[in-house]
Amino acid sequence: MQIIKTLSELSELCRSFHQAQQSICLVPTMGYYHAGHEDLMQYGRTLADKLVVSLFVNPTQFGPAEDLENYPKDHERDSRIAESHGCDVLFLPDAADMYTADHATWVEVPKMTKILCGLSRPIHFRGVCTVVLKLFNLTQADYAVFGEKDWQQQAILKKMVEDLNVPVTIKTRATVREADGLALSSRNVYLTAEERKQAPAIYAGLCAARTLVKKGERNAKKIKDLVLQKWAVDIPLGRLDYLNIVDPYNLENVEYLEQDALMACAVRLGKARLIDNILLPACGTQA
């Protein structure tokens, strides 16, 4: 595995792969790997001749009051994990190289980035779109893999790729969870023991919503109310950021489920802001 730190080395190396007719899969990460990242890498390894993993805690997707400075970090362990999954190139750029002092260009999908997580993180997806497009351009990746825990992120990035005709195919992977249902996240380390005990109830609430939909409920408000009632009991330490039922592709709010929808949420628990989501299969059966 090669560890590359400069942008020019990365683009030259990837260009040489393509000149040798080798395809490239990119797995963009912020590091501090858990089994969810490992799944993305394992899957990415099967998609192309060369697996490029980027590890960059992208400052432009963090708001001023967010956890950029404290984001957990362990490059040595991360390097070993990436190599163990057949990563060919680990890209570890400096923020000052990724963003020159006079960086001024932004990519945005406004109607998809100002909702859900974008409401409490107004510049987040602008930063995500911009850095991911930079990584696509630097690597000229044929494939890129993202996790479905950040559902909004992958929906926005697919839209960006389609709208801008970026020659990359985005693939996604299901959320990897702890045995008790908690979605894996590098930010789970922020949880105290007490908060960690309550955290699985986030996903349990989403599963209860799915059960309700399977039984025939189609009214989004009733489905959300059930989840909120459960959370009020099971996550007393939690503070709701949002809970929405939306179209899985364009993320527009759904009032009445006429087709498959996505229930997505963010819940603050102590220092952690945890996101999760679940597909609500409303096709076929009518209420």
Q: Which residues bind its own copies (CB under 8 A)?
A: 7, 11, 15, 100, 102-112, 129-130, 133-134, 137-138, 140, 159-160, 162-167, 250
**CB-wise, 108 or 148, nearer to its own copies?**
108
Contact between 56 and 93 under an 8 Å Cβ cutoff? The reply is: yes
The nearest distance, CB 163 to its own copies, in angstroms, is 4
CB of 268 to its own copies, least distance (A): 29
75 is known as an active-site residue: no
Cβ proximity to its own copies: between 21 and 286 the closer is: 21
- Closest to its own copies by CB, 225 or 252: 252
Q: Which uninterrupted H or E stretch holds 205?
A: helix 200-214
Catalytic residue chosen out of the listed positions 18, 34, 37, 124: 37
CB 116 within 8 A of CB 244: yes
Contact yes or no for 255/218 (Cβ under 8 A) = no
Backbone angles phi, psi at 53, to 5 degrees: -115, 125
Shortest Å, Cβ 139 to its own copies: 10
Both structure tokens of 48 = 């192309």
Largest separation between any pair of C-alpha atoms in the chain: 59
Residue whose CB is less far from its own copies, 138 or 263: 138
Contact indicator for 81, 37 with CB cutoff of 8 Å: yes
Pairwise CA distance, residues 140 & 117, whole Å: 28
> Least CB distance from residue 144 to its own copies, whole Å?
14
Shortest distance, position 172 Cβ to its own copies, whole Å: 19
* Rounded Cα gap, residues 287 and 213, in angstroms: 9
Residues 191 and 166 sit within 8 Å (Cβ to Cβ): no
SS3 of 65, please? coil
Residues known to be catalytic: 37
